[in-house]
Chains A and B, each alone.
Chain A
Amino acid sequence: MNESEVSNNSNKSIKKAIKISPPLIAMLIAVVLFLLSGLLPAGYSTLQGAIRQALNILRLASFIAIIGAGQTLVIISGGEGIDLSAAPIVTVGALLTYMIINGQNYLILPVLLLVILIGAAIGLLNGLGVTYLKISPFVMTLVMSGVVQGALILWTKGYYDGKVAPIMTQLVARDLIWGIPGMIFIWIIIGILMTLLLERTRYGKQLFAIGVNRTAARLSGVKVNRMVILTYVLAGAMAAFSGFLLVGYTQNAGPNLGNQYLFPSIIAVAIGGTQMSGGKGSYIGTIAGAIVIQLISSLLTTMQLPQALQQIIYGSLLVVILIIYGREKGLRS
Chain B
Amino acid sequence: MPDKKNKNIINWFRAFNKKHAIGVPFILLAVSTVLFFSLQTNVFQPGTIGRLTNSNFRTWLPVLLLTMGQTLVLIGGGLDLSNGSIVSVGNVILALHVTSADEPWHNLAIVALVIGFGLAAGFLNGILTVYLGLQPVIVTFATSFIYAGLALLLLPSPGGAIPREYTNYYRNTHYLGIPISLIILIVFLLIWEFFRLRKYGRFLYAVGGNPRAAYTTGVPVTWMKISTYILSGFLASLGAISYSLLTGSGFSGSGADMMLPSITGAIIGGVSFSGGSGSLLGAIFGGIVLGNIRRIISIVKVDSWAVTLINALVILFALAAPGFINLLRRKK
| Interface residues of A, dominant DSSP | helix
Are A154 and B309 touching (Cβ within 8 A)? yes
User: What chain B residues lie within 8 Å of A323 (beta carbons)?
Assistant: 128, 132, 134
Are B145 and A326 touching (Cβ within 8 A)? no
- The 0/1 profile, CB within 8 Å of A marked 1, for residues 60-88 of chain B is 00000000000000000001010000000
Chain A, 135-192, CB within 8 A of any chain B CB: 135-140, 142-144, 146-147, 149-151, 153-154, 157-158
User: What chain B residues lie within 8 Å of A157 (beta carbons)?
Assistant: 305
- The 0/1 profile, CB within 8 Å of A marked 1, for residues 296-332 of chain B is 0000000101111111110110011001101100000
8 chain-A/chain-B pairs, Cβ below 8 angstroms: A82-B137, A134-B274, A134-B323, A143-B312, A150-B311, A263-B145, A322-B138, A323-B128
Number of interface residues of A (CB under 8 A): 49
Cβ-defined partner of A308 (8 Å) among B79, B156, B308, B310:
B156
Chain B, 220-269, CB within 8 A of any chain A CB: 221, 252, 260, 263
Are B319 and A143 touching (Cβ within 8 A)? yes
Asked if B146 lies at the interface with its beta carbon under 8 angstroms from chain A, I say: yes
Closest A residue to B316 using CB positions: A143
Question: Complex Cα distance A241/B217, Å?
Answer: 52
Number of interface residues of B (CB under 8 A): 50
Asked if B23 lies at the interface with its beta carbon under 8 angstroms from chain A, I say: no
User: What chain B residues lie within 8 Å of A202 (beta carbons)?
Assistant: none
Are B132 and A138 touching (Cβ within 8 A)? no
User: What chain B residues lie within 8 Å of A151 (beta carbons)?
Assistant: 309
Cβ-defined partner of A331 (8 Å) among B151, B221, B316:
B221
Q: Which residues of A does B touch, CB under 8 Å?
A: 80, 82, 129, 132-140, 142-144, 146-147, 149-151, 153-154, 157-158, 263, 270, 276-277, 306-312, 314-316, 318-319, 322-323, 326-332
Cβ-defined partner of A139 (8 Å) among B143, B145, B263, B310:
B263
Contacts known (A133-B324, A322-B138); A312 close to B260, Cβ less than 8 A: no
Cβ-defined partner of B156 (8 Å) among A129, A276, A306:
A306
- The 0/1 profile, CB within 8 Å of A marked 1, for residues 128-153 of chain B is 10001111011101111110111111
Are B142 and A319 touching (Cβ within 8 A)? yes
Closest A residue to B320 using CB positions: A133
B28 CB to nearest chain A CB (Å): 18
Cβ-defined partner of B315 (8 Å) among A143, A318, A322:
A143
Q: Which residues of B does A touch, CB under 8 Å?
A: 79, 81, 128, 132-135, 137-139, 141-146, 148-153, 156, 211-212, 215, 221, 252, 260, 263, 273-274, 303, 305-313, 315-316, 319-320, 323-324, 326-327
Cβ-defined partner of B319 (8 Å) among A135, A310, A314:
A135
User: What chain A residues lie within 8 Å of B135 (beta carbons)?
Assistant: 80, 276-277, 322, 326, 328
User: What chain B residues lie within 8 Å of A158 (beta carbons)?
Assistant: 305
In the complex, which of the residues B143, B323, B326 has the most CB atoms of chain A within 10 Å of its own CB atom?
A: B323
User: What chain A residues lie within 8 Å of B263 (beta carbons)?
Assistant: 139
Are B260 and A139 touching (Cβ within 8 A)? yes
User: What chain A residues lie within 8 Å of B149 (beta carbons)?
Assistant: 308-312, 315
Are A327 and B316 touching (Cβ within 8 A)? no
5 A-B pairs with least C-beta separation: A150-B309, A133-B323, A315-B145, A146-B312, A311-B149
Are A308 and B152 touching (Cβ within 8 A)? yes
Closest A residue to B128 using CB positions: A319
Closest A residue to B146 using CB positions: A315
In the complex, which of the residues A158, A330, A332 has the most CB atoms of chain B within 10 Å of its own CB atom?
A: A330
